Amino acid sequence: MDALSGRWYDGVSSQPRAVRLWLGAPGRLRIQDEAGQVWDWPLAEVALSPRLGRTPRLLRYAGHGQIECMDDPRLAAWFPRRRSGWVEALADWLERRRVAIALAACAAVAMVFALFKYGVPAAALYLAERMPRAVEVQTSGQVLAVLERLRLEPSRLPPARQAALRDGFARLVQGQPRSEQLVLHFAHAPVLGANAFALPDGRIYLTDALVALAQDDDELMAVLAHEAAHHIHRHGLRQAIESTSVLLVVGMLAGDVSGSSLSVSVPAVLLQSGFSRGHEREADAYALALMRSRGVPAVAFVRMLRRLSAQAPGEGEGEGEGEGEGEGDRGRVAGYLSTHPPTPERIRAAEAAAASDH
């Protein structure tokens, strides 16, 4: 008796049973378990899974579950009419060749790299530009609720001083994209130190410590121009979408991309990660161009960057950029505000812009 060994999952019991298979009467597949019980399946009604590398083959018979067995030439003899499609045949051919497997693995790695290097940022920009205003407001509210627990208190600056800075900021961003959404707020927050940050809905916060650090209003306008650029370019949502891209891809593979999952993950990521180096460069370039158009000297940006860099000694050029400007406390403040000093690269770019003003 020319029999194959297999495991039968009958769809009734959770436990498979060991069986042997062979051809019985013409057109019939005979199955016998260890207890000696015998079944006959009509070959015409048995579906044989395509051959794919060294994976087991499956024999399915409607209403009787499936039998799993290793690939064997006898299966081809029993089911001569079964032919795999060209895709299955190509996959089987490739999986039997190590060079093809290595090339396929390299191609897969390259595709994943290209996806997250170029595809994800492009998709994030597309999605952020079309994100409903309500999402920005809701996300910003959730972020602010966390920040308030970090002792974000009302500013102690005199009302006249706050009003003067608001007027200067309004003149600075007048006519800029989304300028009607930009609203300047002040806060007393010792835990944040000298800091400024922009929420996705356009609210920009300036701490009392940063106002005290600046030598003149031009330096404050430089910081505010940078933060306004973050909002204009939707860096907050873009960074959140980019950072959650892995979760979204895994969610799609797992079949869970519900809106509720996204609404929870975006604020969480905003609080755990700052802007990318590319976003910081883009915000700096926009801020310098805006300052030039408003007659604010670029050297004010240089002075402020140097002073902010001196506020957090020990942070090197290789560090990433945070959401705000100024000193931060990585151990106490969420990543959204855990700032790093400007890198020498950013300072050099600002110096070049200042040199071109002369």
Tell me the pLDDT band of 260, cut-offs 50, 70 and 90. Answer: very low
Is 8 in contact with 31 (CB distance < 8 Å)? yes
**pTM greater than 0.85:** no
Measured on CA atoms in the order 102, 107, 110, 112, is the torsion positive or negative? negative
pLDDT value of position 321: 38
Question: Would you say how long the chain is, in residues?
Answer: 358
Scored b (16 or more CB within 10 A) or e, 56-66 reads ebebebeebeb
| Beta-carbon contacts of residue 277 (< 8 Å; ≥ 6 apart) | 320, 321, 343
339 pLDDT band, cuts 50/70/90, is very low
Q: Give residue-wise pLDDT tens across range 49-97.
A: 887 767 899 999 999 999 999 988 888 888 875 455 666 666 666 666 6
What is the percent of the chain where pLDDT is above 90? 40
Start and end residues for every CATH 2.30.29 domain found in the chain: 4-95
As a whole number of angstroms, the distance between CA 343 and CA 100 comes to: 44
C-alpha–C-alpha distance, residues 65 and 330, integer Å: 57
Edge to edge, the sheet with strand 183-188 lists: 153-154, 183-188, 203-207, 195-198, 325-326
Count Cα atoms within 13 angstroms, Cβ side, for 45: 9
The CA distance from 223 to 331, in Å, is: 24
**How many whole angstroms separate alpha carbon 26 and alpha carbon 59?**
18
Name the one residue in this structure whose structure tokens are 């979760």: 247
CATH 2.30.280 applies to domain 4-95: no
pLDDT digits (tens, 9 = 90+) for 304-322: 999 888 876 544 433 333 3
Question: When comparing pLDDT for 257 and 118, which is higher?
Answer: 118
Rounded distance between C-alpha atoms, residue 208 and residue 161, angstroms: 11
* pLDDT value of residue 254: 53
* C-beta neighbour count of 21 within 10 angstroms: 23
- Residue 99: pLDDT band (50, 70, 90) is confident
DSSP state string for 131-200: --HHHHHHHHHHHHHHHHTT--EEP-S-HHHHHHHHHHHHHHHTTSTTGGG-EEEEEE-TTT-SEEEE-T
What are the two backbone dihedrals, phi and then psi, of residue 41, each rounded to the nearest 5 degrees?
-105, 135
* pLDDT given for residue 329 in this prediction: 41
Instruction: Enter the DSSP assignment of 9.
Output: E
> How much is the mean pLDDT over the chain?
81
Looking at residue 91, what is its pLDDT?
65
Q: What is the pLDDT of residues 275-298, one digit of tens each?
A: 678 888 899 999 999 999 999 999
Q: Look at 12-26, 149-163, 258-272 and tell me which has the smallest mean pLDDT.
A: 258-272
Instruction: Give the 3-state secondary structure of 67-132.
Output: EEECCCHHHHHHCCCCCCCHHHHHHHHHHCCHHHHHHHHHHHHHHHHHHHHHHHHHHHHHHHHCCC
**Digit-coded pLDDT (tens) for 190-230:** 888 888 999 999 999 999 999 999 999 999 999 999 999 99
Give the per-residue pLDDT at 326.
43
CA distances from 72 to 49, 78, 79, 332 (A): 13, 10, 12, 63
Q: Which of 136, 215, 147 is nearest to 182 (CA)?
A: 136
> What pLDDT does residue 88 have?
62
Residues above pLDDT 70, as percent of the chain? 77
pLDDT tens digits, 126-181: 888 888 899 889 888 888 888 888 778 999 999 999 999 999 999 999 999 999 99
Which of 146, 245, 148, 138 is closest to 200 using CA atoms? 138
Instruction: Please check the confidence at residue 256 and state whether its pLDDT lies above 60.
Output: no
SS3 label, residue 209: helix
Structure token pair of residue 172: 């600075």
